[in-house]
Amino acid sequence: MFKKLRTAMTATFLAIGWAGLVQAETPAQYTQEIAPGVYSYGGGNGYHSMFLVTDDGVAVFETVNTDHSTKLLEAIRSVTDQPIRYALHSHNHWDHAGGGKVFQDAGGQTVMHTLAAEWLAAHPGRETSPPDIVWEGNLREIEVGGVEIELHYLGLNHGLGMTVFLIPEKRVAYIADLVTPNRVMFTIVPDFNIGEWERTLKEVLELNFDVAVCSHNELPADIVASGCTKGHVEENLQFIADLRNAIFAEFKKGTGAFEIPAAIELPQYAHWAHYDDWLEMNVWRMMLDLFMGPYPWLPDSQG
């Protein structure tokens, strides 16, 4: 298992390392209009951002890191000269919350939920910067050029302060980390609360959108524009249920706990990226959750 894990992590780091080479070509080529005035930007580094262009400025969703944001800004400039108004951060994790300074330097304000901002103030990342606007509660609305953006904090699920963004009039959403189309989930992330994640996904299905940009997806480049949909949210929910049921089935058969991860196969997902190298990690993570209880947790007064 550890060898497999190391192989998977090496592959991930290699993928991130390769990004610079791939991405260096032209940021515009990773840019697609997914709805009128709304663009997906996938930097070729495994991370996808989004931006909204209006007659009075641009809003950016997910800055990732300095290199990604620098190229994202270049991609935006290939589409419009409108000023940057806001860069919206989804959650606290360093690998998503870096790069905000690129847009602050470009004249924009960065925005983050208070739970993410407080964590980052205590644990600043190498490429994170303090946000200009910090918000509390479950819903905040921001307007750019007459277009409303809704910021939904749906409670605990992954990391802290996880925000799902919705542009109702475009019927578009931005979803980080919670929905990963065509990819086995990266459940080894310790602060993924699986039960709350399922609850959140059901709430995401209630939001009014037809297409979303999902931060990590393995959708073919030519269909990103019709990309991440509620069908993918449902698939993620089904995968979690199937994984849990497969573990319970092994419990019932009397399979020893340490033999269960290697014993489980879910062939209906074999075509998903990282099925071979990550499925076993998924089983370990789910099994630990079943043994030890959910993590993380916040008292209601702070959640």
Number of residues that bind Zn ion (CB under 5 A): 3
Piece in contact with Zn ion (CB under 5 A), picked from 91-99, 180-188, 192-200, 283-291 = 91-99
Closest CA to 193 of 261, 97, 292: 292
Alpha-carbon gap, residue 31 to 24, rounded angstroms: 14
Contact map string, positions 96 to 125, toward Zn ion, x by CB under 5 A: ------------------------------
Alpha-carbon gap, residue 98 to 92, rounded angstroms: 9
Contact 124, 97 (CB under 8 A): no
Alpha-carbon gap, residue 1 to 60, rounded angstroms: 39
Piece in contact with Zn ion (CB under 5 A), picked from 80-88, 89-97, 105-113, 267-275 = 89-97
**157-176 positions binding Zn ion, by CB under 5 A:** 159
The span from the first CA to the last CA of the chain, in angstroms, equals 35
- Nearest residue (CB) to Zn ion, 98 versus 159: 159
Piece in contact with Zn ion (CB under 5 A), picked from 98-106, 117-125, 177-185, 287-295 = 177-185
Single out the residue of 48, 89, 93, 113 in contact with Zn ion (rule: CB under 5 A): 93
Dihedrals phi, psi of 57, to nearest 5 degrees: 120, 175
**Minimum CB distance to Zn ion, residue 158 (Å):** 6
Alpha-carbon gap, residue 215 to 271, rounded angstroms: 20
Q: In what order do the strands lie in the sheet with 163-167?
A: 139-144, 147-153, 163-167, 172-175, 211-214
**Minimum CB distance to Zn ion, residue 189 (Å):** 6
- Nearest residue (CB) to Zn ion, 67 versus 177: 177
Residue 102 makes CB contacts below 8 A (sequence gap 6+) with 63, 66, 69, 70, 72, 73
**Minimum CB distance to Zn ion, residue 79 (Å):** 27
Single out the residue of 177, 196, 250, 289 in contact with Zn ion (rule: CB under 5 A): 177
**Minimum CB distance to Zn ion, residue 52 (Å):** 22
Closest residue to Zn ion using C-beta atoms? 93
Binding site residues, Zn ion, CB under 5 A = 93, 159, 177
